[in-house]
Amino acid sequence: MSLKHTPEQEKIIAWTGNKLVVGAFAGTGKTSTLEAFARANPEQRMLYLAYNRAIRDEAERRFPFNVECKTSHQLAWPQFGRFFQHRLTASLRITDIAKLLNSRHWPLAKMSLISLNNFLYSADSEPGITHFPDENDRCGLDAGKILGAVQILWGEMTRPDSRFPVTHDTYLKLFQLSTPDLSLKWDLILFDEAQDANPVTSHFVLNQKCSVILVGDQYQQIYRFRGAENALNAVELADADRLWLTNSFRFGPAVAKVANALLKEAGEKRTVSGYGGADSVSDTLPEDTPHYCVISRTISGVIGVALTASLKGKRVCWIGGIQGYRVEDLEDLYWFSVDMPERMQTTLLTRDYRDFEEFKSIAKATKDADMGQAIKLLEMYFPLPQKLVILRRQIAHNENEADLTVVTAHRSKGLEWDTVVLNDDFNDINNPLISAEDKRDELNLLYVAATRARKALVLNEMMRQVVQQTS
């Protein structure tokens, strides 16, 4: 990006006031603009609230001394998180819920887990019917039964002497409920990626006495399934000043045209301009491409691409590491499916399920996407263990050594590559049965994935249709 700021950026850097919302399209230099704002106001004590640890670490290296960079969970850790350290788990499993409820009523366990997570993501003070799945998705369960189960779970998670697992969202929720006063330490909050903020975070940010600048792109909201809401449009911001960043320094006019096709399909009137130099969009990947990134919709899509490439002798780099794609769990599931538990790395499956048939029946009863994907992969790449040996042998630990990189669209957010290939596993946005909300989510995922490209973008069939429809 040029050291000279655009007129759009200058307006933001010179802003003074109480609340500002910045709508920033992909690659438009929002972090650089916030950094310039912080440097222009060295007398103000600022908190940069980052979406995740990786963004926070990068911000810590970039921002000036008057800015502290933290995630919301880091804010909550000293007062609440550290007291649950010995009970922390990445996520609760259906079997954790069933054991606490002393029941093998799997739909109840699933509905209780969904409702509990929805409460943790929310700004509400206690669990209630608003956190339940839609009535058509409750498997005929009585609302009172679900609420009772959620109350048991929440009570057990917050009980200091309990041994029940606790997620990181638990102590963040407790922090929000304590109504923290951040103005005691900071004059202004820089709230990044606000379009994907959970209400639990946006609630305590937007109710502070100090000033706040929210920055984000509503078309990069891709975590609604985790309870995220677009804080850029929160009712608390009705009187906020609003500015825009529409000039992308990441890509040129060709990729911008694809991005604008998606924006138009989503109903956006503004357009993004490509200031990143010469770029191209094509339907096929040139054979002499030295390195490229394949972005998939699903974990099974990532593993499928990686397996296919590895079997052809290509070196594959996994964004976040292969361990983040549950390949070991998949291999254990294979040995579990062929009744060879002695080959499994952990006893988790044998503890939680009587046999593979029960695993499949629970997957069907709960419509669990991850369980369903795992079963599908076992069928597609049978026998799996021999293929995984090759898969692991072909791992490249950094992109300089790799022929290709693999990643999901969700994990790709905030990253970029010279050449991006869109996998064919994205959901059909032209499906007449798709809901308006689901279509918006899928458009956003396509937009995030397509705008990771700096120089070349290879379209899938879905993206080709979108461009044709809007041209």
Q: Phi, psi at residue 99, to the nearest 5°? A: -65, -40
Domain boundaries, the chain: 7-78+180-245, 84-174
> Which of 100, 84, 56 is CA-nearest to residue 174?
84
Confidence of residue 3 (pLDDT cuts 50, 70, 90): low
Are 387 and 28 contacting, i.e. CB atoms less than 8 angstroms apart? no
Per-residue pLDDT reduced to its tens digit, 143-171: 999 999 999 999 999 998 999 999 999 99
d(CA 399, CA 466): 31
* E strand residue ranges, 129-240: 188-191, 211-216
Are 425 and 301 contacting, i.e. CB atoms less than 8 angstroms apart? yes
User: How much is the pLDDT for 322?
Assistant: 93
Mean residue pLDDT of the chain comes to: 93
User: How much is the pLDDT for 366?
Assistant: 77
Fold exhibited by the domain 7-78+180-245: Rossmann fold (3.40.50)
Rg (CA), the chain: 23
Residue type, 374: A
CB atoms within 10 A of CB 395: 16
First and final C-alpha spacing in the chain: 29
User: How much is the pLDDT for 443?
Assistant: 96
Confidence of residue 240 (pLDDT cuts 50, 70, 90): very high
- Predicted TM-score of the model (pTM): 0.84
Per-residue pLDDT reduced to its tens digit, 413-449: 989 999 999 999 898 898 888 899 999 999 999 999 9
Q: pLDDT at residue 49 above 50?
A: yes
> Which of 290, 291, 313, 294 is CA-nearest to residue 303?
294
DSSP annotation of 260 reads H
